[in-house]
Amino acid sequence: MKKLLFFLLLMTAVVGRAQTSLDLLPVGTEAPDFTITDSKTGKKIFQLSDKKTQMDKDGKTVPGVWTVLDFWASWCPDCRRDMPMVKAIYDKYNTKIQVVGVSFDTDEAKMKKYLGDNQYSWLQYCEFKKWKETKISKDYYISWIPTSYLINPEGKVAFSTVKAEEMMKKLDSLDQAGALKPAQMQTALKKVYNESIDPMAQIDEALAKAKKNGKFVICQVGGNWCPWCLKFADFVEKNAAVNKIVNDHFEYIHVNYNRRKSAGDAAVKKAEQLMKRLNNPQRFGFPVFVVLDETGKVLHIQDSSFLEEGKGYNEEKVLRFLKSWTPQAIKG
């Protein structure tokens, strides 16, 4: 009897999950618009309708972008199970599509920690309200998570599913048919994190150089998995004013952080030791900047979101941060 009851409960759950996929917005429906803004500046970072095919000011057609919307929450077991597949989608197709996570978390710190710990770096939208109280859950008829939609370049629903692997299959079929094209707004950024070296030894080497040259150390903690990390490295390289102050006053290093279980227990333990040495900067998300004096003492941890502007970094904000933590500024 117990076995029969368990079987019936299991089948109810499976059928319930299958039914939710039928209750989503139909294919061909105009995707409800939403905007992601910088929580500190209020400036727009992303708007779904901007990804539609449209005409520019000169009357030329600007191709739209395929967009995957993944509805999830860090407290949801099924979502956590599906997230590696969502990451696989992002890793495989991020130059051809836009991936946006839509989280139903209510605690921003917990959400950011989960994303950072697992190196999930795609764009996120969150109202920080209970699931059923959010506008976007009503707009997209979300009665089950995880759920994902594929929005075509015309801004209409092309596909929906409650299984990430089905979304991958759909994208694979579109790619094989030649429907997915490299997104014009995305350019390849140089991977600056050396994943084969010991970050502890890397920091020690930088400290030795800093002591010899009268400088401090800036550890840019993140990884090649983090687009914003690569953007900042590119910004430092190409912005003359920022590049000069970095070279004049700091040993600037890219410290790779990887605590994913797939990297192995030893790597996870080493990542935890690294974070402890740097006073646990991962709580601010990535990239995060840790300023060390020549003895290795942590002087400051900089949340990079305060340095952002639009889809990049603000020169004035970055220079203010750097100038405030030079050896001359601290020691007088």
On whether residue 146 sits in a domain, the answer given is: yes
Name residue 310's amino acid: G
Query: Do 34 and 164 fall within a single domain?
Result: yes
Query: Do 137 and 263 fall within a single domain?
Result: no
Give the residues across from 151 on adjacent strands: 67, 157
Contact indicator for 89, 122 with CB cutoff of 8 Å = no
Long-range contacts, stretch 73-77, CB < 8 angstroms, 24+ apart: 73/103, 73/104, 73/105, 73/131, 73/145, 74/103, 74/105, 74/110, 74/111, 74/114, 74/115, 75/105, 76/104, 76/145, 76/146
Residue 84's CATH number: 3.40.30.10
Q: What is the three-class DSSP state of 309?
A: strand
Residues 6 or more apart whose Cβ sits within 8 Å of residue 201: none
Query: Do 142 and 206 fall within a single domain?
Result: no
pLDDT digits (tens, 9 = 90+) for 233-250: 999 988 988 999 999 999
- Compute the radius of gyration of the chain from its Cα atoms: 22
Query: Do 232 and 119 fall within a single domain?
Result: no
Question: What residue numbers bound the domain in which 207 lies?
Answer: 199-331
Spatial separation of the C-alpha atoms in residues 188 and 184, rounded to whole Å: 11
On whether residue 3 sits in a domain, the answer given is: no
pLDDT computed for residue 43 by the predictor: 73
pLDDT computed for residue 265 by the predictor: 81
Query: Do 157 and 234 fall within a single domain?
Result: no
Query: Do 110 and 210 fall within a single domain?
Result: no
Residue 56's pLDDT band, with cuts at 50, 70 and 90, is: low
Contact indicator for 122, 148 with CB cutoff of 8 Å = no
pLDDT computed for residue 10 by the predictor: 45
On whether residue 7 sits in a domain, the answer given is: no
Query: Do 39 and 91 fall within a single domain?
Result: yes
Spatial separation of the C-alpha atoms in residues 202 and 165, rounded to whole Å: 39
Residues 6 or more apart whose Cβ sits within 8 Å of residue 193: 222, 223, 224, 229, 254, 255, 256
Residue 54's pLDDT band, with cuts at 50, 70 and 90, is: confident
On whether residue 277 sits in a domain, the answer given is: yes
On whether residue 98 sits in a domain, the answer given is: yes
Strand 147-151 and strand 308-309: pairing?
unpaired
On whether residue 32 sits in a domain, the answer given is: yes
pTM of the model as a whole:
0.61
Spatial separation of the C-alpha atoms in residues 278 and 300, rounded to whole Å: 10
pLDDT digits (tens, 9 = 90+) for 268-315: 888 999 999 999 999 898 999 999 999 999 999 999 999 998 778 999
- The domain total for the chain is 2
**Domain boundary pick from 176, 207, 240:** 176
**Domain boundary pick from 176, 208, 238:** 176
Give the residue from 165, 184, 162, 185 showing the smallest Cα distance to 173: 165
Rounded to an integer, the average pLDDT of 52-66 is 73
pLDDT computed for residue 186 by the predictor: 42
Query: What does the mean pLDDT of the chain come to?
Result: 87
- Between 54-63, 127-136, 163-172, 288-297, the lowest mean confidence (pLDDT) is in 54-63
On whether residue 8 sits in a domain, the answer given is: no
On whether residue 153 sits in a domain, the answer given is: yes
Query: Do 131 and 244 fall within a single domain?
Result: no
Query: Do 97 and 203 fall within a single domain?
Result: no
Query: Do 231 and 297 fall within a single domain?
Result: yes
Query: Do 124 and 36 fall within a single domain?
Result: yes
pLDDT digits (tens, 9 = 90+) for 178-191: 999 876 444 467 88
Rounded to an integer, the average pLDDT of 132-159 is 96
Return the structure tokens found at 226.
């983090």
Query: Do 48 and 135 fall within a single domain?
Result: yes
| Cα–Cα–Cα angle for 122, 20, 107, rounded to 5 degrees | 40
